[in-house]
Amino acid sequence: MALPTEYQLKVRLLEVTPAVWRRLLVRASVSLAKLHEILQDIMGWENKHLYTFLVGDRAFEAPHPDASGGNARRTRLTSLRLAPGDRFHYLYDFGDDWNHELTVEDAVGGLRAVDYAQCLDGANACPPEDCGGAHGYSQVLEALERPDDPAFRELLEWLPPGFRPDVFDLRATNRILSVAHRHNRAV
């Protein structure tokens, strides 16, 4: 069987309500370090923190003096030999501990329909960076429900302008991917 040229992945942010997820089509030749950048863009993160991919019992990280896992820059998605139904994890920000589950929905060979990455679908806004993990995000959501409560005023001032947890903009997400990864189309 030929190696896939593209993977369709479903990315779910665990432990948050309402559910935050994205469906992504990505080149199989992408490195895990580049996949990290793509995930930052489709989830709405700001790429301020360290990350790890957990695939089975193996960890892959960005090169860092404290890193103990495999090198994410040298590991290509296709080298993991993933098949539809396989799941792996992406952990971002070891303080807030954002845990994402990635499920391989499809492994396609020979189509080359995507230049680099494309977001196909998704739901809800990603929590703001550095909001305190799933527990902190639940407090943010409570503050949005009770904007007149003085206990929540500081949280509301800290939110990005116009933040709406129930909004995901597919078109804007793909514009971000297109601009951010234009130079990687040959990867």
Q: Note the pLDDT tens digit of each residue in 61-83.
A: 988 777 788 999 999 999 999 99
- How many Å apart are CA 170 and CA 147, to the nearest integer? 28
Among 53-62, 127-136, 157-166, the minimum mean pLDDT is found in: 157-166
The SS3 assignment for 54 reads strand
List the domains of the chain with CATH numbers: 6-124+169-184 (3.10.290.30)
Check pLDDT > 60 for residue 185.
no
pTM of the complete model beyond 0.75: yes
At residue 66, what is the residue type? D
**Segment 105-133 mean pLDDT:** 86
What average pLDDT score do residues 87-95 get? 96
